[in-house]
Structure 1
């Protein structure tokens, strides 16, 4: 194996694409398909190359991921490459111009669900691990490759199982292989999510008595939540303000019954100056105002669903520094970005683990129809990650 990154990348590309095609041809839609078949593809590939790997399961024994671990010969920090093997659903298959699991290459595009997010990245990461396994005596610390099959469900079960595994070394940082060549996500807003139950007396819609329904009370609560004075400007060096969205509202049935319960889901995107505690306080203030203004038969109930912290890496912090430096060294000017949506980096931030997300090949149709990934840039993307990993491991 040559030590020239460009030559190494060129030699590997056909194999990377072949493996990605095989993965695409094994459907692994989150919450729909069984994950054993797609993981089996990788397990056979890894076993043929004698790479140490093992399956990850959650507390209920469900399969949630695959973990590859390559220890170096000297003590040092471990670093992790992370890509998901489960995918979004197909949606309306009749709208696709090719079968969602076709896994072919047409005019330089790898086609099929998961080509962009993120089976091509998974295949590339496995090849990097295979190379490093052959030269493990040259680096310190270790490299782990996490292949999550519980990402698109929002559960991130693979990552959670990895972090809870007493046999796994806690990584010093993680690079997540989402597609897109223009940006590296080095931060993101956090989130605080709650389900709210609003109550009212039940009754008949034709009654002569004046009745305030749960829907009426919930509508007022939405007004209080959305007009409650959230900060509208970025503060403290974080480039985005917080944001509150009522994402669902459910109540009632038919026409003749006044509903006595209305349920709302509220999503608050948090920032360092307005975190989970501030989000909860904001919601509780609105609920208290509602119960005082339009009293119900019992207090409005707030149930916290999830809370992830915001995060933001500085340019000098790893692994962002090595990834960005490697991109520049390979002639790619990539922007660092703090994202509005949350990602698995927020989950990792809760454990004190810095992460980057993104830097992959250009793509189209992610989570939509006709998903495909452009392959001309694959050698550069591969070389960038390969060099970043070698730099982090201080490989000789």
Structure 2
């Protein structure tokens, strides 16, 4: 492990600076990286969101010859700790025990962030021979789902637009080359209010919302389509309404999450919801029509394994003797945001892990040399002469 001691040491220091999304101040974890980069004379700058808060750190290694830019991306913010009493070690431990790096963020994704910094530091010393350039994006607004670092990076007029991005989520056996998209909306279901003890039998908003939930969940969705291996999926994820036992509520709000595919896209998802809403309102009128408010929409995507940067990463893995399968993911990831910008991305190749987003998170350091070698080989192939 001595050849990767610097990467491991940096990852340990990052883990020891708590950076739970929406809970901790990100300043301390960003300063750890800034000190590390400054000591190696690597250029970097903070990225800021619309409110002026830090959302990421960006470093750039510009090659001495013309060519496309590529990016490595890993997040520095983490999931919360959950029940700390259930952990067998401190969530901010950062210790290495029996070859496992312990602590929240070890797997997702502080070890990857440290590894990407190490690759950038190596390339910085030989930048003149590189074609194009390498950006390393370290996001502190990833676990919120806001992806503020990526958004700020893409909106930065000073940053060359990347031709592709490799995202350092963990997992040794698969490379994510695609994912279902999503369409999300809130639905406001109305009715006349009243007293629960009155003789009136008009259904309240919660009863009407329950009927709408049945309509949505019984709606027929298509199956998997062509080369895209996953079908769409609809889930009602929230329900809020009511003010007490004696009041018939006049409003109930639902949250709906639909995972989309190339054969069932955001437009089809919205149409399905609006048709169910129209059926509800036609069957039982209310003082106000049911309203649908779209909240978010990301496209599905899938890269051919011959397209970059998927080809470079899969070829590099094969060159290092690893059997790595391309995968289309059910959950969405930052690759969907990038797909919406026309930027191809891979995700999900890294070390083995346990306790991701749960108790006793840890990352297997035995895998680090091979994973590091794969990313290094892939990046060098992308920055080679065309």
TM range (shorter): over 0.9
Give the root-mean-square deviation of aligned CA atoms: 1.0
Match of 2:28 among 37, 62, 74: 37
Distance in 2 (alpha carbons) for counterparts of 1:375 and 1:146? 22
Output the CA distance in 2 between the equivalents of 1:60 and 1:395: 41
Q: CA deviation at 1:12?
A: 3.8
Q: Secondary structure at the match of 1:369?
A: coil
Q: CA deviation at 1:80?
A: 0.2
> What is the CA-CA distance between 1:11 and the residue it aligns to?
5.6
Give me the whole-angstrom Cα distance separating, in 2, the residues matched to 1:46 and 1:117: 21
The aligned counterpart of 1:166 is 157
Please list, as runs of the form range in 1=range in 2, the aligned pairs for 1:199-214 lying within 5 A after superposition: 199-214=190-205
1:324 correspondence with 2:350: no
- How far apart are residue 60 of structure 1 and its match? 1.4
1:18 and 2:9 matched: yes
1:191-229 deviations in Å (ceiling 9; x for gaps):
000010000000000001112100110011011111121
Compute the TM-score of the two structures, normalised by the length of structure 2: 0.99
Residue 373 of structure 1: which of 340, 357, 363 is its match?
363
Pairing 1:136–2:127 present = yes
Query: Which whole-Å CA distance do the structure 2 matches of 1:286 and 1:349 have between them?
Result: 29
Partner of 2:53: 62
Q: 2:101 maps to which residue?
A: 110
* Alpha-carbon shift at residue 358 of structure 1 (Å): 1.1
TM-score when normalising by structure 1: 0.96
Q: Are 1:263 and 2:253 counterparts?
A: yes
- Deviation of 1:256 after TM superposition, in Å, equals 0.5
Indicate the SS of the match to 1:123.
helix
**2-side partners of 1:109 and 1:26: how far apart?**
18
- Aligned position for 2:75: 84
Cα distance in structure 2, aligned partners of 1:107 and 1:395:
42
* Corresponding residue number in structure 1 for 2:90: 99
Name the residue aligned to 1:300: 290
CA–CA distance in 2 between the matches of 1:368 and 1:228?
Answer: 34
- Structure 1 residue 269: deviation in Å? 0.2
1:283-362 to 2 correspondence within 5 Å? 283-362=273-352
Q: Is the 8 A contact 1:24 1:119 kept in 2?
A: yes
Deviation at 1:104, TM superposition (A): 0.3
State the Cα deviation string for residues 226-255 of structure 1 (Å, max 9, x = none).
112111x21131101110000011111221
In 2: Cα distance, 1:315 partner to 1:27 partner: 37
Shift of the alpha carbon at 1:296?
Answer: 1.2
1:196 paired to 2:163: no
How far has the Cα of 1:75 moved from its partner?
1.0
CA distance in 1, matches of 2:171, 2:109: 11
Give the match's secondary structure for 2:114. Answer: helix
Within 2, Cα distance between the matches of 1:381 and 1:12? 13
**In structure 2, how many angstroms separate the alpha carbons of the residues matched to 1:308 and 1:352?**
12
* Distance in 2 of aligned mates of 1:45 and 1:209: 70
Mapped partners of 1:321, 1:12: distance in 2: 27
Match of 2:381 in 1: 391
**Counterpart secondary structure, 2:158:** coil
Cα distance in structure 1, aligned partners of 2:191 and 2:128: 68
List alignment gaps of at least 5 residues for structure 1. 1-9
The answer as to whether partners of 1:138 and 1:395 remain within 8 angstroms in 2 is: no
SS at match of 1:279: helix
Task: Kindly state the Cα deviation for residue 130 of structure 1 after the two structures are TM-superposed.
Answer: 0.3
- The match for 1:181 among 157, 172, 184 is 172
Does the 8 Å CA contact 1:244/1:269 hold for their aligned counterparts?
Answer: yes
| Match of residue 18 from structure 2 | 27
Q: 2:354 aligns with which of 364, 382, 385?
A: 364
Matching residue of 1:234: 224
Aligned residue for 1:22, secondary structure, equals: helix
Which position in structure 2 is the counterpart of 1:125? 116
Once the two structures are TM-superposed, the CA of residue 395 in structure 1 deviates from its matched residue by 6.3
Distance in 1 between residues matched to 2:41 and 2:290, nearest whole Å: 58
Q: Counterparts of 1:49 and 1:395 in 2: how far apart (Å)? A: 26
Q: C-alpha distance in 1, partners of 2:20/2:195?
A: 44
**Deviations 1:334-388 (CA, angstroms, capped at 9, x unpaired):** 1100000000000000000000001100000000000000101100000000000
